[in-house]
Chain A
Amino acid sequence: MSLIQLENISKHYGKYQALDQLNVQLEGGMIGLLGPNGAGKTTLIRVLTGFLQPSQGRASLAGCDLAQPEQLAQLRQQLGYVPQHPAFYPTWTCSEFVDYIAQLKGMHATAERKAAVERSIQYVGLSDHANKATRQLSGGMQRRLGIAQAIVNDPKVLIVDEPTAGLDPEERLRFRHLLAGLGNQRLVIFSTHIVEDIVQTCRQVIMLKKTILYAGGLNELLEQARAAQVSWDLTSPTPIYDQQLVIVSSSNDEQGYHYRIVGQPPAGSNAKPASNVGLEEAYLWMMQQASA
């Protein structure tokens, strides 16, 4: 059964087209939503959470038709959401805030709620800061508190919008580990523009640039990219300054300048097809195709 189903979803703000004819059917697990800035990731997430109504098309998540208010309300009972910029009441403590969200999610039994709050705060590693005011938390801790409020009701669907943007490497690793753990038991939609985050955590990916460029398994995408020979290794005695080339990596030694490029290599060059193709190359290839 498809847990995410989009049929001809479009969204426009006046004349600006944010999403164009999205069609997707994906199963559960951890799904990466990948695209450049301005690709429409946050708009799609807002459609999936029901904050925005699509201009056209139908969307369903975890079997709930988002156009039906009753089903949307039903979805929200099993939804956890971490927005791109999580905000809190600055004078409240972490426990108070998570407890407040738990109550709004319908957890009325006090003892059970308190235990769930404690558990979720512990899960994200904020137990030592539970009684600290939210304004005293660092950026990384605030993101983790965002996760804690989202998982307090043990949701079946967790949507996380660019959680790793602006975090230091250590906090990013911690975050990836957190999300990977959560993805074992539920549908997690993880939006990001950082390719490495997807590689390390997701098995399915949606690539977006106003329209769907790819939706499916990560391995299948890499297979496609390899078959299409999207990536080339190139060595040149002089540096290459061609703005048209999409250079993924470069290095130099006494033999010359070594480049990994995506797309067609320059005519007459000594480019060889790359033996291993990563998601970054596949992503750039997709973006190139979309721009062509």
Chain B
Amino acid sequence: MIRTFCLGSLRNISRNRFLWVMLPLLIVFNTFLGLNGEVTYTLFTQSCACLAIVFVHESKRDLQLRETVWSTRYNLFSYSLGRLLAYSIATLIVIVLCEIVVLFFGGKGEIAAILHHNGARIPMSLRFPWQLWVKTFFSMLPIFALLLYFRNYYWLGLLIAISYWLYVFAFVILLRQNILIGTITPGFYPLRWLAIIPSTNVFLYAWADPIPWILPSLGLAGLGWFGYLAKCMWVKTAEPLRIQPAWIGLGLVLSCLSLYLGYQQFVAMLHVYNPATVF
């Protein structure tokens, strides 16, 4: 059943007109800007952020379909896991599509560098920037989990998805001047605490080692997903869950652990991170 939901979502994604209009536009736009280090990164993140909007559209349709689907052997666990898997696969596919463009048109021989959390500078090929793929992929997971949480609230979901997409888009103009959480320059940034959420600080630490992103992202996505299952169990919706409370509890504990350990890694990375020294 997970496979059925996953393939169903992939079919919806593959036929979504918004995605197939936006992707070529973004590719042309970013290629026009030159596909240097930051524009390349923007291409990956912007293109994947379109999937957040597709996710919300599909949730709306699922809400209309729910009586039909609930009369089958539907259960929330399979449905939510199937959808998260489908969007993870779609993110990978979008990254591959962008990579094809970058491979042919990107970089022009320029080499960027990322800063490893032990302080070493690691050169990165802009024609094959796997570090950016990792960061982009993992930064989408908490967004999908958040949108799953609000799947029955279309306008709120759309607001979140569009805000995230615009936030990513704005980076083209603002470059590293991160309007929400501030840059490394001192100043008053009331939302600085958002820095612990990988999806929101994707640009501030664009050239940092991607490894410290994996655990916090997985932790947040896990908290969102298991938190949603726990909420549905708590409020006793008529949706069958097909997952025992103990597994939900275990999932929440592992997610918290992952977030905690990831945060430690993240803080360690921040101690050595100074974008001025990267290039």
| B64 and A87 contact, CB distance less than 8 A | yes
Q: Given that A89-B12, A101-B72, A106-B73 are known contacts, is A50 also in contact with B65, CB under 8 Å in the complex? A: no
| B240 and A149 contact, CB distance less than 8 A | no
B61: which A residues are within 8 A, CB to CB?
A: 87, 89-90
Work out how many contacts link A and B, with CB atoms closer than 8 A.
67
B64: which A residues are within 8 A, CB to CB?
A: 85, 87
Name the one of B11, B16, B73, B238 contacting A96, with C-beta atoms under 8 angstroms. B11
- Interface size counted on chain A using CB atoms at 8 A: 34
Q: Given that A69-B240, A104-B73 are known contacts, is A92 also in contact with B65, CB under 8 Å in the complex? A: no
- Interface size counted on chain B using CB atoms at 8 A: 21
| A100 and B240 contact, CB distance less than 8 A | no
Shortest CB distance B69–A (Å): 6
Interface string of A95-111 (1 = CB under 8 A from B): 01000110111100000
Name the one of B12, B67, B73 contacting A51, with C-beta atoms under 8 angstroms. B67
Q: Given that A51-B238, A79-B71 are known contacts, is A104 also in contact with B4, CB under 8 Å in the complex? A: yes
| B12 and A91 contact, CB distance less than 8 A | yes
Q: Given that A100-B8, A104-B4 are known contacts, is A87 also in contact with B68, CB under 8 Å in the complex? A: yes
| B68 and A86 contact, CB distance less than 8 A | yes
Residue of A nearest to B3 (CB): A103
Shortest CB distance B208–A (Å): 40
B238: which A residues are within 8 A, CB to CB?
A: 50-53
Shortest CB distance A259–B (Å): 42
B74: which A residues are within 8 A, CB to CB?
A: 104
A81 interface contact, C-beta 8 A: yes
A238 vs B236: C-alpha distance in the bound complex, in angstroms?
A: 61
| B71 and A80 contact, CB distance less than 8 A | yes
Shortest CB distance A256–B (Å): 51
Identify the B interface with A (CB < 8 A).
1, 4, 8, 11-12, 15-16, 61, 64-65, 67-74, 236, 238, 240
Which are the 6 A-B pairs with shortest beta-carbon distances? Answer: A81-B71, A87-B64, A104-B72, A91-B15, A83-B67, A103-B4
